[in-house]
């Protein structure tokens, strides 16, 4: 349902509410729109004016002083043929590159002071590039020359307070990247679709037995035939050839991190049951849970997503330490007398928490989304030596939303952020063995926001050439291609509440690929070498031969068959699935 909303604001009245003194910098004539929507975003509907007593947890993302230098450094330390390969930045070095200039900080302080904000109430990110403060809605409307309204999601029934347009003095446009909450309507609950229970009616405490029957994998290895439909850690170890590798760098700092939101709690009893059934040598091991900004881990509420992530990362990487970050984040709510404060943007909380520490895991996996501005925070993680994996999504070519929001309602293929961020490794999904196939829900395509990065310049054009004029006008051929890689994503055996569920989705693929990268980091660190860091420049160059190319499958959506898996990179399985032994041989030469 689409509704056109017209917002009229009497700016002169608003500005006079904080005094009569005129300011040439912040006056009415100086205002210019920072961002606006022509229509209410897809799947949202207007409900009415925002509550008069509403308070806003305002976040202001400032222009980062030397962002270009940070990104240039990221690519240099991530390029296996560059002299700086592996020379990752320290926390202090990275923060020095993203800190805003004194001019930017002063301009923002002057603006906030002009609008009566107590500067001592502001909280800052470690680099000072994000400001957080809580203000009455009426004051925020004055500052942004706008009017907020209440909107409801048609499917999830989530309710948010947002605006369709906001303005800033022209002099501030070059100092402020984004302000939230304003015009971003994304709900984290949408990302629940990255996993699903595949056989909910047949839950049991047993799994399909292989009866000793095996098939040959791409490298001639024996794989239990049961892995065609029932995936366990043993299946993944055999398929991706990690079987027999024993991590050696657990006492040298190698760790893997899992980001959790949406009140997804990892259950310790379920983890032990999983180990007993599928990884007996790991019985007694556990995952370390770190609370971010008051995040909980309620043992009475085992989560499918949290259990899937931790059971398979630890199932693949034991005895490597696993760290689960629990960040409070639920669907957006109205902050009034009967509902809790909004926590609909916890992603920035998690990123800032991790970046605030000198020491952090070398590998991360997560399946949730956030604001495009977070992309620059991932660049910081990569520059500091972390490899970041994301589920590509489960929407085929459409991400569940095939229409534009610019008033034309054109059909367009839209892969989702953060998989589209050029500084992360996006992971699509496969199923079956001998051979593996791209699965229909594996989300892939081309970003309409981020241009194609240099590391994809050789791999992506051949796919586009084979595609020809098919789907012309439905996607951005110059955009960043998704996914980068893929891994199994269907039939994962997960223990939830003491019982086995069969779970699928790219949320299974991402921790699987991340587990293999963590083992490769272990291999590197045990040899006295630095961690892999940002992966993509390596994967798309000398790393490409270490993948098993997937040439079967397609990802339908938007009323089309979607893209086909083909030789080389494609927009359903990326470069393919990993071969651990091949990667070991490659990394041993770097």
Q: Helix, strand or coil for residue 235? A: helix
| Domains and their CATH numbers in the chain | 11-64+99-185 (no CATH), 192-585 (3.40.50.200)
Beta strands in 203-280 (DSSP E): 214-216, 222-224, 256-260
Catalytic position from the list 78, 392, 507, 531: 507
The conformation of residue 347, written as its DSSP 8-state character, comes to H
Ranges of the chain whose pLDDT falls below 50: 1-22, 24, 188-193, 200-206, 330-344
HSE of 464, CA atoms in CB hemisphere, 13 A = 19
507 is catalytic: yes
Model pLDDT, residue 308 = 93
Report CA 282 to chain centroid distance, whole Å: 29
Model pLDDT, residue 11 = 38
Model pLDDT, residue 193 = 43
Catalytic position from the list 309, 371, 372, 522: 309
Cβ-Cβ contacts under 8 Å for 469 (sequence gap 6 or more): none
Report CA 127 to chain centroid distance, whole Å: 21
What values do phi and psi take at 548, rounded to 5? -90, 115
174 among the known binding-site residues?
Answer: no
DSSP-assigned beta bridge partners for residue 257: 323, 364
- Distance (Å, whole) CA 569 – CA 572: 9
CA nearest neighbour of 115 among 71, 78, 145: 145
Model pLDDT, residue 28 = 58
Report CA 233 to chain centroid distance, whole Å: 24
Q: CA-based angle 499:503:507, to the nearest 5?
A: 130
| Cis, peptide link before residue 418, omega less than 30° from 0 | yes
550 among the known binding-site residues?
Answer: yes
Model pLDDT, residue 200 = 43
Model pLDDT, residue 1 = 35
486 is catalytic: no
Model pLDDT, residue 296 = 80
CA nearest neighbour of 553 among 436, 455, 471: 436
Catalytic position from the list 129, 177, 190, 305: 305
Model pLDDT, residue 202 = 40
Model pLDDT, residue 373 = 65
Model pLDDT, residue 191 = 45
108 among the known binding-site residues?
Answer: no
The conformation of residue 33, written as its DSSP 8-state character, comes to E
Confirm whether pTM is higher than 0.85.
yes
Q: Edge-to-edge, what's the strand order for the sheet holding 44-49?
A: 44-49, 149-153, 159-162
345 is catalytic: no
- Distance (Å, whole) CA 63 – CA 98: 8
Considering only CA atoms, give the Rg of the chain. Answer: 24
Beta strands in 163-307 (DSSP E): 165-169, 176-180, 196-197, 214-216, 222-224, 256-260, 288-291
468 among the known binding-site residues?
Answer: no
Q: Helix, strand or coil for residue 180? A: strand
Model pLDDT, residue 332 = 34
Q: Is there a contact between 139 and 115 (Cβ–Cβ < 8 Å)?
A: yes
């Amino acid at each position: 349902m689409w509704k056109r909303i017209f917002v009229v604001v009497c700016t002169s009245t608003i500005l006079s509410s904080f005094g009569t003194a005129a300011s040439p910098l912040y006056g009415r004539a100086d205002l210019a729109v920072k961002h606006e929507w022509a229509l209410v975003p897809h799947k949202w509907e207007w409900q009415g004016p925002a509550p008069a007593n509403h308070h806003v947890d305002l976040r202001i993302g400032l222009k980062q002083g030397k962002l270009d230098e940070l990104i240039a450094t990221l690519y240099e330390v991530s390029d296996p043929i560059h002299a700086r390969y592996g020379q990752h930045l320290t926390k202090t070095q990275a923060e020095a590159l993203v800190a805003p200039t004194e001019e930017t900080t002063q301009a923002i302080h002057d603006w906030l002071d002009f609008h009566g904000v107590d500067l001592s109430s502001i909280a800052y990110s470690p680099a000072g590039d994000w400001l957080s403060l809580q203000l009455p809605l009426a004051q925020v409307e004055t500052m942004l020359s706008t009017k907020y309204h209440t909107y409801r999601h048609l499917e999830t029934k989530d309710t948010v307070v947002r605006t369709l347009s906001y303005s800033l003095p022209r002099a501030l446009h070059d100092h402020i990247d984004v302000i939230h909450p304003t015009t971003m309507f994304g709900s984290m609950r949408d990302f629940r679709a990255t996993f699903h229970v595949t056989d909910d009616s047949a839950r049991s405490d047993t799994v399909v037995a292989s009866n000793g029957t095996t098939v040959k994998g791409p490298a001639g290895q024996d794989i239990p035939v049961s892995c065609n439909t029932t995936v366990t850690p043993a299946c993944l170890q055999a398929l991706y050839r990690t079987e027999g590798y024993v991590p050696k760098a657990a006492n040298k700092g190698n760790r893997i991190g899992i980001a959790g939101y949406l009140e997804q709690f990892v259950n310790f009893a379920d983890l032990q049951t999983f180990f007993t059934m599928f990884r007996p040598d790991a019985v007694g091991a556990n995952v370390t849970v770190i609370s971010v900004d008051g995040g909980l881990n309620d043992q009475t509420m085992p989560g499918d997503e949290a259990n899937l992530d931790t059971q398979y990362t630890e199932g693949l990487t034991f005895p490597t330490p696993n760290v689960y970050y629990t960040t409070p984040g639920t669907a957006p709510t109205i902050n009034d007398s009967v509902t809790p404060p909004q926590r609909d943007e916890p992603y920035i909380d998690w990123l800032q928490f991790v970046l605030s520490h000198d020491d952090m895991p070398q590998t991360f996996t997560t399946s949730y989304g956030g604001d495009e501005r977070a992309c620059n925070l991932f660049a910081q993680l990569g520059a500091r030596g972390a490899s970041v994996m994301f589920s590509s999504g489960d929407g085929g070519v459409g991400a569940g939303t095939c229409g534009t929001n610019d008033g034309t309602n054109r059909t367009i293929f839209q892969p989702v952020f953060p998989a589209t961020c050029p500084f992360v490794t996006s992971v699509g999904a496969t199923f079956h063995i001998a051979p593996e196939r791209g699965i229909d829900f594996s989300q892939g395509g081309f970003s309409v926001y981020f241009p194609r990065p240099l590391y994809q310049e050789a791999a992506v054009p051949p796919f586009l050439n084979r595609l020809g004029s098919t789907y012309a006008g439905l996607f951005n051929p110059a955009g960043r291609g998704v996914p980068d890689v893929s891994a199994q994503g269907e039939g994962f055996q997960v223990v939830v509440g003491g019982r086995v569920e069969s779970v699928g989705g790219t949320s299974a693929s991402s921790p699987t690929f991340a587990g293999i990268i963590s083992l490769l980091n272990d291999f590197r660190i045990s040899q006295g070498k630095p961690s892999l860091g940002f992966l993509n420049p390596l994967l798309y160059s000398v790393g490409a031969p270490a993948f098993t190319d997937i040439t079967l499958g397609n990802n339908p959506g938007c009323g089309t068959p979607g893209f086909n898996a083909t030789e080389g990179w494609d927009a359903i399985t990326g470069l393919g699935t990993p071969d651990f032994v091949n990667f070991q041989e490659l990394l041993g030469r770097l």
